[in-house]
Amino acid sequence: MPTDAITLNPTDSHHSLTIAPPNGGFCLRGKIQIPGDKSISHRALMLGALASGETIIHGLLLGEDPRSTAHCFRAMGAKISELNTDRVTVQGIGLGQLQEPTDVLDSGNSGTTMRLMLGLLASHPGRFFTVTGDASLRSRPMLRVIKPLQEMGAQIWHRSGGYAPLAVQGQALKPIHYQSPIASAQVKSCILLAGLLTEGKTTVTEPALSRDHSERMLRAFGAEITVDPETCSATVTGSAQLHGQTVIVPGDISSAAFWMVAAAIVPGSDLTIENVGVNPTRTGILEVLQQMEADVTLENEREVAGEPVADVHVRHSQLKACTIAGDVIPRLIDEIPILAVAATCAEGTTVIKDAAELRVKESDRIAVMAAQLIQMGATVTELPDGLEITGKTPLHGAELDSHTDHRIAMSLAIAALIANGQTVIHRAEAAGISYPDFVPTLVRVSG
């Protein structure tokens, strides 16, 4: 590959990523190690901070989002080692012992940090907390967690419309059975964490099962928690003590998804993505790619520290369009931007429905992906709750923008690999939220 085919151009505050396919195009081959799972990383830091004793975390995601979580919990008394090695340690302070921070808790770009943390803050009687985030997070809806917490007796103040900055006066809460109108692991986890510090049994029922990493990890740390997959319910019993654990974080299937789609759509590709977490609440992407007739196989399937893991082998093949809707949506919600790229290469019309949640992610992922793919020549119609994409269309290089959304930045970089001509992606540094080594990895495997 010519050395200038993929270049990152730093400016003062933002980086633009330029991708210019060489004659004959790129071809992705070899083995890839992906960063630790973002959802599991947040939970390991939080439960480690709440537990008594030491928690040792291997494979933590060293991205911006977990750094926001570590920063907040350090400010409330947990001793968390620097996030710069494969082994991160957390000296917990014990359940119910979070200290009142002397400054605003800054969740950065991380919805998981803010929403999960709110359940804990609201249930710490006698402490006062203020919480904020970056411009994207301050525009994301918080009433989805504030309302059920208020039902439990929480005192929370917010900007009009339910946006951060927020203020929380911790209270002794009462348990509830919350029927969540949306399948959201952030909502479910927020209420379960509040329930951990609330006497009695707190239950959350969802319309479809969202990722269950909180339930698994709470159990591993010694909490009393039961789940009923039939009714999509989880119940936690309050006032338990948590005990520090060793956590091994699997690779993030949401990060692996970029390489899965890249290998599926770039001719001649043959990639193995190692150590991918394949928890069934996250594997919608595998099912959809198989439905699209991608050549995807799981190898070396195993269980590591309570989470299923496998190597994912993907080879280029001709994709077919499909419909992505219903209960699978929460199991691939973060992978829809990259699946939209795959759909531009699939024969027929791919319809993505029931995914209105995408409009309130780090960006409005429906509007942003539609606009950016149209700029590259794709045939895309925006739906209120999804996208309709007709393939296969040849993409051409264009000047694009991540809208500071990590998953948009990386999805567009993969689209650029198959485009004719040069693509420039502005604000590409957003990838560092969940994948700090994305660009070096792209350079390495696309040789």
* Residue from 76, 88, 185, 342 binding ligand S3P (CB under 6 A): 185
Number of residues in contact with ligand S3P under rule CB under 6 A: 11
**Residue 16 or 279 with smaller CB distance to ligand S3P:** 279
What is d(CA 268, CA 415) in angstroms, rounded to the nearest whole number?
A: 16
Q: Radius of gyration (Cα) for the chain, nearest Å?
A: 21
**Residue 293 or 357 with smaller CB distance to ligand S3P:** 357
- 269 forms part of the interface with ligand S3P (CB under 6 A): no
Q: Which of 334, 385, 401, 405 is catalytic?
A: 334
Using left for φ > 0, alpha for ψ between -120 and 50, and beta otherwise, residue 396 falls in beta
What's the min distance (Å) between Cβ of 112 and ligand S3P? 4
**Residue 112 or 441 with smaller CB distance to ligand S3P:** 112
| Sole window of 181-189, 255-263, 276-284, 297-305 interacting with ligand S3P (rule: CB under 6 A) | 181-189
Paired tokens of 9? 């151009």
What's the min distance (Å) between Cβ of 224 and ligand S3P? 21
| Sole window of 180-188, 255-263, 370-378, 388-396 interacting with ligand S3P (rule: CB under 6 A) | 180-188
What's the min distance (Å) between Cβ of 115 and ligand S3P? 7
What is d(CA 380, CA 360) in angstroms, rounded to the nearest whole number?
A: 20
- 446 forms part of the interface with ligand S3P (CB under 6 A): no
321-340: contacts with ligand S3P (CB under 6 A)? 333-334
Contact in structure between 7 and 27 (CB atoms under 8 Å): no
**Residue 119 or 397 with smaller CB distance to ligand S3P:** 119
**Residue 90 or 329 with smaller CB distance to ligand S3P:** 329
Q: DSSP string covering 163-217, please?
A: EEEEEEE-------EEE-SS--HHHHHHHHHHHHTSSSEEEEE-SS----HHHHH
- 64 forms part of the interface with ligand S3P (CB under 6 A): no
DSSP 8-state assignment for residue 12? S
Paired tokens of 322? 């499909």
- 184 forms part of the interface with ligand S3P (CB under 6 A): yes
Sign of the alpha-carbon torsion through 387, 414, 32, 56: negative
* Residue from 69, 109, 186, 283 binding ligand S3P (CB under 6 A): 186
SS3 13: coil
What's the min distance (Å) between Cβ of 38 and ligand S3P? 7
**Residue 112 or 272 with smaller CB distance to ligand S3P:** 112
What's the min distance (Å) between Cβ of 8 and ligand S3P? 24
Mask: binding to ligand S3P, 199-238, rule CB under 6 A, as x and -?
A: -----------xx---------------------------
341-400: contacts with ligand S3P (CB under 6 A)? 357
- 112 forms part of the interface with ligand S3P (CB under 6 A): yes
Tokens 């691939």, residue? 332
Decide if 65 is catalytic.
Answer: no
List the beta bridge partners of residue 391.
348
Cα–Cα distances in angstroms (integers) from residue 17 to residues 9, 34, 131, 262, in the given order? 6, 20, 33, 17
Strand ranges, E, within 334-445: 348-352, 379-383, 386-391, 399-401, 423-426
Cα–Cα distances in angstroms (integers) from residue 132 to residues 13, 105, 109, 114, 226, in the given order? 21, 6, 10, 8, 32
Which residues have a catalytic role annotated? 334
Residues at the site binding ligand S3P, with contacts judged by CB under 6 A: 39, 112, 184-186, 189, 210-211, 333-334, 357
